[in-house]
Chain A
């Protein structure tokens, strides 16, 4: 036993490069796995932080149904840890035609610090905060070039109030928000006086004691406070935030998936060679009485050693990488959100366990195969790998491929996730099975082409690829790596676009949100270069459907224009033309899919729409989803006017030859009237500055996956060289010159890269289809596949393989020809 261990340790010492590559691949994949888990959690935590915004650690808000509330009205309950009274007001900031809504807030600073301490941009504490002063977040001040000490004018309750900027706060904690506008902090007494109060708060934010859930706290408060006097609400829906964040962290989990697949393949191929190389020694040990079990155990021990080292080094590396990424994010964030690094015991244990298990599992297969070989064959070195019928494997591959493509299309609901995962694995497995067949077939074609272009060396290089296990291994690893990079890039870009570009697919190029008389709309229509104008009446929180309050109801004249301007996706494609035809003077209503679900209405139902005084019957003509509008329902403009007294328009969307020029004119038309008017480009720039940085880590992670791919390819090329050097020696013995060897190796490398890239492009395309099929029901946007991403990744793969060919070329120059030829 001791001697076998000694032998293995000596082997490890001697094969430093390969051991290093294997450990590095385990290290990188456990790092990737750990980082992708932790960054997902950190991202989720940052999302929760944003959703909590002003509420901070408070889980419940209590306000009076009438007037203000005082902190002493909240009973001292065990479930309460801290409370802070918040006085709220609103103001309007106007500069160069831009209007920005500012939510004013004031609190006792000592109380506020307990639930959500404001963080100043310079890191100092807030002190001497009284009088007509204001603290604004840097996200707002940097946009308008406001400095500490400047004076700004706000419209508050119709009056212009001049305030001094006391401090600039970081766009973090108290100042965070997930809606447009900004939150400003004012001295409590000053805001009281501005709003005409002497004391009291708009709401009391309550932080639960350790271990108390928001729900429990809410229940306790509902028991203690009379429902007719107080409104008790949870500050945010944790489930909703978690669901949103999970959707956005999908690329990180994709990264984990691919890194694991690659890692297993790298270790598997390494072990295949290791066991093959050690076969004579294994035979010697077996011949002198070492049991099959002992040898298997020792080899597995060796692999677990690699797994442990890789895993143990991978986690601290992961923590370092995570901190660097989060640090990088904070630096790049002009708003300065502090994103906590969330390291859970689960992610640590799971990443380590996966590193060890992946190493053990991928080593087990070749070791197990070897241990099953008859002692005689092993001792005599006459083992031969069993040849499995090509037709059988091709049939299995094609079946698995079809199964993987069809599977996610046959299920729905939660099963989609499971079947989607199986489909992704199945696609990769099917491609792995089919690689030999595809390589053989392509090599036949290449043989003819190269024969013409490159002569006999090219012909031989292509011929040499047929039935060549090293080449197949290289192509397999390459296609896994390239398809991972493509899938992650496409999904990553999609998430960035999805989160930041809500108007994707919508025709509008600009919009105005404000009070607009019909004459205003006519003036816009008459502006130079204006192409289409869509005016809308907005009935916010004014209507009820069968007693259920509707948040936002929009009323339009022309449904086709409304649909194209706001990228309305109808649940059934046939609904649009029917709905547009009915959208004349009839009382019809379109409901959003969410609204349909919440209210339980369905197409063809007649519902009573009421504004409290007027009640009318409306026919539900269909449902829709759209990212460009939050409308829960859409009704004809004529009905909004006749039934609910809508007069002026509240929203206007337009397309124009020069949207910016039109926007300047619209702002000028508004004059001093409050409005929120933006071109789509301006809106997207604003949105990207907030969410783009959150997605920065994902792009950093793509480099890691590329690094892992590079490590895998180097590992493979090393293995390739080990296996190929004898063949090269054979060629050299019959007259292959170094120049010819370079030509053939490069041709083979290029061809492997080409085949690997082609398979990768195809597989990743299908993977992306599966990913979006799984995510599809939750998103109302179709991914746009950019051919450049596919082409660039494929080209990179070919370049990497070509560069990798340098190793065997250089090494074969130093080859001892006689030694290689003489050894069997």
Chain B
């Protein structure tokens, strides 16, 4: 089922990112502005070094722009301090990374519940939600396993489940299939597409793979720090 999109989930305005390289300054993002509306599944594509991941991390609040503003649900989050930004990451944003980034000594359940735990919530109150997410991601029988006992695809499913546990406004994914074989990659993309369609979850994904990008509703291309 396709959702009607009407509100802006996230917006970047005049985003510029510069990195000092010795005496020179490299401009990675050159005044990018974009909007992602609620329920959209947007893919950002572009060649290596084009700035697509930098754009994703800035929009996701893991990096800060040299200048420009990021609006989440209409609120400018670019000036937020660490405490506020951390709260946003726990409650409003979910992240999925290429290398899964799971805590190796926590089991699947604990990894998934991490944002809630950090938010001071009692895990007992979220068991139903956990079971649902485990079912959606096909991890019900793996809930007590540690990451090292899982395959790459399963680990990425855990990462997706963790990103979704807090019912985020937007899910950011950085090359979610980049570390997986094509079959597993396709399964992960099916899962993301399914989540987007079933629950209207807004997703912003960086990918190299045109195959993966096909799952999205819109494709943005970044080249040399600008949208093309």
Q: A740 touching B86 by the CB < 8 A rule?
A: yes
Q: A817 touching B89 by the CB < 8 A rule?
A: no
Binds B, one of A134-142, A161-169, A675-683, A725-733: A725-733
Q: Chain A: which residue is nearest B120 at the CB level?
A: A456
Q: A824 touching B99 by the CB < 8 A rule?
A: yes
A619 to B81, CA, bound (A): 91
A730 to B54, CA, bound (A): 17
Q: Shortest beta-carbon distance, B46 to chain A, in Å?
A: 16
Q: A736 touching B86 by the CB < 8 A rule?
A: yes
**In residues 297-322 of chain A, which contact B (Cβ within 8 Å)?**
none
Residue tally, chain B, CB below 8 Å to A: 36
A656 to B162, CA, bound (A): 77
Q: B87 touching A737 by the CB < 8 A rule?
A: yes
CB-CB contacts of B79-105 with A at 8 A, as 1s and 0s? Answer: 000110111111100010111011111
Q: A735 touching B103 by the CB < 8 A rule?
A: no
Q: A740 touching B118 by the CB < 8 A rule?
A: yes
Q: A464 touching B103 by the CB < 8 A rule?
A: yes
Q: A733 touching B97 by the CB < 8 A rule?
A: yes
CB-CB contacts of B193-209 with A at 8 A, as 1s and 0s? Answer: 00000000000000000
**In residues 451-465 of chain A, which contact B (Cβ within 8 Å)?**
455-457, 459-460, 463-464
In the complex, whether B224 has a CB less than 8 A from a CB of chain A is no
In the complex, whether B5 has a CB less than 8 A from a CB of chain A is no
Q: Shortest beta-carbon distance, A640 to chain B, in Å?
A: 76
CB-CB contacts of A723-760 with B at 8 A, as 1s and 0s? Answer: 00001011111111111100000000000000000000
Q: B101 touching A730 by the CB < 8 A rule?
A: yes
A735 to B97, CA, bound (A): 15
Residues of A within 8 A of B91 (CB): 735
Residues of A within 8 A of B11 (CB): none
Q: B89 touching A734 by the CB < 8 A rule?
A: yes
Q: B114 touching A463 by the CB < 8 A rule?
A: no
In the complex, whether A467 has a CB less than 8 A from a CB of chain B is yes
CB-CB contacts of A418-430 with B at 8 A, as 1s and 0s? Answer: 0000000000000
In the complex, whether A16 has a CB less than 8 A from a CB of chain B is no
In the complex, whether A209 has a CB less than 8 A from a CB of chain B is no
In the complex, whether A122 has a CB less than 8 A from a CB of chain B is no
In the complex, whether B34 has a CB less than 8 A from a CB of chain A is no
Would A733 and B95 be within 8 Å (CB), given that A456-B121, A467-B105, A821-B62 are in contact?
A: yes
Residues of A within 8 A of B87 (CB): 735, 737
Residues of B within 8 A of A732 (CB): 86, 89
A732 to B115, CA, bound (A): 10
Would A734 and B114 be within 8 Å (CB), given that A384-B148, A740-B86 are in contact?
A: yes
Query: Secondary structure at chain A's binding surface: helix, strand, loop or mixed?
Result: helix
Residues of A within 8 A of B88 (CB): 735
Residue among A384, A457, A733, A822 facing the most chain B CB atoms (10 A cut-off): A733
Band of interface residues on A? 20 to 34
Cross-chain contact of B118 among A467, A734, A822 (Cβ < 8 A): A734
Would A735 and B90 be within 8 Å (CB), given that A463-B106, A464-B105, A464-B106 are in contact?
A: yes
A384 to B150, CA, bound (A): 13
Q: A736 touching B118 by the CB < 8 A rule?
A: yes
Residues of A within 8 A of B174 (CB): 822
Q: Chain B: which residue is nearest A733 at the CB level?
A: B95
A729 to B89, CA, bound (A): 13
CB-CB contacts of B133-144 with A at 8 A, as 1s and 0s? Answer: 000000000000
Q: Shortest beta-carbon distance, B162 to chain A, in Å?
A: 7
A818 to B64, CA, bound (A): 10
Residues of B within 8 A of A468 (CB): 105
In the complex, whether A587 has a CB less than 8 A from a CB of chain B is no
In the complex, whether A625 has a CB less than 8 A from a CB of chain B is no
A822 to B60, CA, bound (A): 14
Q: Which 5 A-B pairs have the closest CB atoms?
A: A735-B90, A737-B86, A735-B89, A467-B105, A456-B117
Additional 14 contacts, C-beta under 8 A, given A734-B118, A818-B54: A456-B118, A456-B119, A460-B114, A460-B117, A727-B104, A730-B103, A734-B89, A734-B162, A735-B89, A735-B119, A738-B83, A739-B83, A818-B63, A822-B97
Please name 25 pairs of A and B residues whose Cβ atoms are closer than 8 Å in the assembled complex, sorted by A. Answer: A456-B121, A463-B106, A464-B105, A464-B106, A466-B105, A468-B105, A729-B101, A731-B114, A734-B115, A734-B162, A735-B86, A735-B87, A735-B90, A735-B115, A736-B86, A736-B118, A737-B86, A738-B86, A739-B83, A740-B86, A818-B57, A818-B62, A821-B99, A822-B53, A822-B97
